[in-house]
């Protein structure tokens, strides 16, 4: 990894341990250039590499990225199949780089519903990187927050847990993100300001930022700006803080 001049000096004292990103705006990025939407998705996946590198540089421990939602299956068929083709390539092509960065790949969502060749690549990526500990990269792929909660309820009920024994901890432990701390900072690029079924349980007390930039153009310096903004926020968790 290329080392930059004193990145730490630009970082606030308080760094988000877990950053989650809704990588939005690929289609509009392409449209603005007169390109097909898939060209935007391709550029978006290429951008991922520099953001992962920047997270490692800044000492972020967990990065969760929203790659494909349970609702995205409803897009035109050629876009969906094009996206699956891109994911197929990316999981294979980026694995070596991810491994080199010391990142551990994890998946959140319904892997069983994606085509077997892709399932295989994701599983292989998780297996290859399982001992890495510099960064955990959670890929939310065929992920929906409501679906996740439904699956958790099913699992809790099928284990025969008594209603009075169900608490927030039990629910958290049955989500796809079990064992991963809640996100501190959620970034949604492209100027849209909504949750779109992303980490609806886990982001209950996250800080949110909404940069205008379309995802393919969202680079290291903008990530740094989001982290600096996070550093200026005061997290209250419903309490009154003493001065
Ligand atoms: C986000 O970009 C990527 C996916 C949802 C897969 P979009 O495709 O939503 O881009 P816009 O919002 O149409 O610009
Ligand atoms: C959310 O973006 C999903 C991903 C980024 C993968 P969308 O573009 O699908 O969300 P909406 O439709 O604008 O809410
Ligand atoms: Mg979008």
Q: Judge whether 154 lies within some domain.
A: no
- How far is the centre of ligand 1, averaged over its atoms, from the C-alpha of 66 (Å)? 10
Mean pLDDT of the chain: 96
Name the closest-CA residue to atom 12, ligand 2. 196
Q: Judge whether 4 lies within some domain.
A: no
Whole-number pLDDT of residue 242: 82
Over residues 107-136, mean pLDDT: 97
Residues 176/103, Cβ–Cβ less than 8 Å = no
Q: Judge whether 45 lies within some domain.
A: yes
- How far is the centre of ligand 2, averaged over its atoms, from the C-alpha of 188 (Å)? 10
Taking the C-alpha atoms of residue 226 and residue 51, their distance in angstroms, rounded to an integer, is 12
Q: Judge whether 97 lies within some domain.
A: yes
Q: Judge whether 211 lies within some domain.
A: yes
Over residues 229-241, mean pLDDT: 95
Q: Judge whether 115 lies within some domain.
A: yes
Q: Please state, as a whole number, how many other Cβ atoms lie within 10 Å of the Cβ of residue 99.
A: 16
Whole-number pLDDT of residue 7: 61
Catalytic residue among 13, 26, 47, 72: 72
Give, for ligand 1, the residue of 24, 71, 85 to mutate: max count of ligand atoms closer than 8 Å to Cβ. 24
Q: Judge whether 241 lies within some domain.
A: no
State pLDDT tens for residues 64-73.
999 999 999 9
State pLDDT tens for residues 3-41.
555 566 699 999 999 999 999 999 999 999 999 999 999
Respond yes or no: is residue 72 known to be catalytic: yes
- The domain in which residue 132 lies consists of 18-143+182-232
Report H helices in the chain.
Answer: 7-10, 26-32, 37-58, 77-93, 95-100, 116-128, 145-158, 168-173, 220-232
Provide the percentage of residues in the chain whose pLDDT is more than 90.
94
| pTM for the predicted model, two decimal places | 0.96
Q: Judge whether 3 lies within some domain.
A: no
Respond yes or no: is residue 182 known to be catalytic: no
Instruction: Give the CATH number for residue 47.
Output: 3.40.1180.10
- How far is the centre of ligand 3, averaged over its atoms, from the C-alpha of 39 (Å)? 14
State pLDDT tens for residues 129-161.
999 999 999 999 999 999 999 999 999 999 999
Q: Please state the domain count of the chain.
A: 1
């Amino acid at each position: 990894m290329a080392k930059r001049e004193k990145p730490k000096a630009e970082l606030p004292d308080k760094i988000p341990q877990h950053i989650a990103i809704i990588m939005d705006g690929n289609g509009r990025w392409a449209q603005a250039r007169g390109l097909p939407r898939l060209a935007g998705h391709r550029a978006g996946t290429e951008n991922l590499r520099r953001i992962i590198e920047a997270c490692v540089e800044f000492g972020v421990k967990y990065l969760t990225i929203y790659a494909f939602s349970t609702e995205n299956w409803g897009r035109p068929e050629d876009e969906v199949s094009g996206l699956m083709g891109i994911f197929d390539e990316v999981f294979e092509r980026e694995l070596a780089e991810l491994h080199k960065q010391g990142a551990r790949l994890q998946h959140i969502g319904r892997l069983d519903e994606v085509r077997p060749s892709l399932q295989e690549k994701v599983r292989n990526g998780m297996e290859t990187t399982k001992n890495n500990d510099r960064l955990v990269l959670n890929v939310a792929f065929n992920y929906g927050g409501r679906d996740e909660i439904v699956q958790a309820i099913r699992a809790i009920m099928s284990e025969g847990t008594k209603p009075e024994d169900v608490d927030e901890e039990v629910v958290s432990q049955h989500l796809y993100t079990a064992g991963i701390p809640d996100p501190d900072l959620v970034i949604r690029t492209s100027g849209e300001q909504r949750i779109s079924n992303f980490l609806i349980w886990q982001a209950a007390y996250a800080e949110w930022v909404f940069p205008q930039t379309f995802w393919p153009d969202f680079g290291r310096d903008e990530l740094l700006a989001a982290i600096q903004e996070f550093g200026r926020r005061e997290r209250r968790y419903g309490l009154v803080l003493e001065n």
